[in-house]
Amino acid sequence: MKDVTISARIPKELSEQLSTLARALRRNRSWVIEEALRGYITSETQFLEAVDEGLRAAEDGDVVDHDTVTAIMTERRQRLPQQSDR
């Protein structure tokens, strides 16, 4: 795969944080940026896929009404062990 160079303007504080992280990881700034972009793109892609899945489910009528969800969550909370006061 051929690498390409991109340019972006970022706040100075973010640039300094990037440099600090790169030093701590003993990596260069480009590596940290690439890893960050990979993680961001993966996360956003998964989110968009989940939204699409939810929209398809809604179109198919495969949904649970609010009152049912509330009742299920209330029951689950009641089954949790009570936290003692510390």
Q: pTM here?
A: 0.71
19-56 pLDDT tens trace: 999 999 999 999 999 999 999 999 999 999 999 999 99
List alpha helices for the chain, DSSP H.
12-25, 29-59, 66-79
CB 32, CB 22: distance < 8 Å: yes
Give the three-state DSSP class for 6: coil
